[in-house]
Amino acid sequence: MLRWQVEAGADEAILAEPVDRFAASAARRALRETSAAPALRTAPPPEPPAPKPPALAPARRPAPAAPMLPAQATGHQAAQAATTLEELRKALEQFEGCPLKHTATNLVFADGNPAARVMIVGEAPGAGEDRVGRPFVGVSGQLLDRMLGWIGLDRTKVYITNVLFWRPPGNRTPTQAEIAACLPFVERHIELVSPDILVLAGAASAKTLLARNEGITRLRGRWMLYESSGMTRPVPAMAIFHPAFLLRQPAQKREVWRDLLAIRDKLDSLD
Ligand code: URA
């Protein structure tokens, strides 16, 4: 049981006292059953299947609408001042605007070839990545490597990073504030690498970098144009299902295969 928990990423104490989540959810269920109106207890109808969008519909990434949070403004200045990837990494090491830094073991900056034509942006480091300071080194990373192999790519031909540079404790879902704090560095990262193609692995990466609210099922498989203020040209970007999702839902591999082939075709057409 302990080994299973460690593999699932539950490898550290978050609170001083244990919390009995089973008791808490039983209490919530009992409360719901006594107080909820009957209509609320019936399951909502399943979402209708997403209509398949045209394969190559381009959509320009809108400029961010919300004013910057203080951590984002400081981060923006520090990130924009970096003119090389090494300077960007150093700026992140000194950045105090993301509290995840204090619970993580290591900064997880990037892996692969900075001169590659393909840049992949995932979600957040897990336990293995936190331990070694490199993205996608665990089981998701092994599947990502196999997926790249399907289209003749490997880590010498891609550059890999995440929308978060530090592991969220216990692999919890990142908060919007944590994503916003890291975003200026992610944007600068993409500007400095200047890839031909951007691949956004998973919902957090796709929604953040495309500034869209739709789920990954709707966003994946479509070419969009990603751009930020410091870029000289927009970059074709495609969202794909995250390898961790594929490990849970292997039936979705067919969709990923289709998306990867589209990425291969795009790379060949830009040659
Ligand atoms: N999942 C991610 O999104 N990134 C990693 O680095 C590892 C797992």
pLDDT band, residue 15 (cuts 50/70/90): very low
Sign of CA dihedral 247, 250, 252, 255: positive
DSSP string for residues in 43-94 = PPPPPPPPPPPPTT---BPPPP-SPPPHHHHHHHHHHHH--SHHHHHHHHHH
pLDDT band, residue 9 (cuts 50/70/90): very low
Global pTM?
Answer: 0.78
Segment (H or E) for 197: strand 197-201
Pairing of strands 111-112, 158-162: antiparallel
The protein residue whose alpha carbon is closest to atom 7 in ligand 1 is 136
Looking from the CA of residue 129, the nearest atom of ligand 1 is: 6
CA distances from 4 to 42, 172, 255, 269 (A): 33, 17, 29, 44
Residue 112 Cβ inside 6 Å of ligand 1? The answer reads no
Domains of the chain and CATH, by start: 72-269 (3.40.470.10)
Ligand 1 pocket, mutate which of 111, 123, 134, 155 (most atoms under 8 A from CB): 123
pLDDT, tens digit, 9 for 90 and up, residues 159-183: 999 999 999 999 999 999 999 999 9
Ligand 1 pocket, mutate which of 162, 164, 167, 189 (most atoms under 8 A from CB): 162
- Supply the pLDDT for residue 72: 75
Residue 111 Cβ inside 6 Å of ligand 1? The answer reads no
Rounded distance from Cα 223 to ligand 1 centre (Å): 22
Looking from the CA of residue 202, the nearest atom of ligand 1 is: 3
Ligand 1 pocket, mutate which of 136, 166, 241 (most atoms under 8 A from CB): 136
pLDDT band, residue 17 (cuts 50/70/90): low
- Supply the pLDDT for residue 36: 40
CA distances from 162 to 51, 78, 242 (A): 29, 18, 12
Residue with tokens 């539950």: 10
Cα 127–Cα 113–Cα 9 angle in degrees, nearest 5: 10
Tokens linked to 236: 């074709």
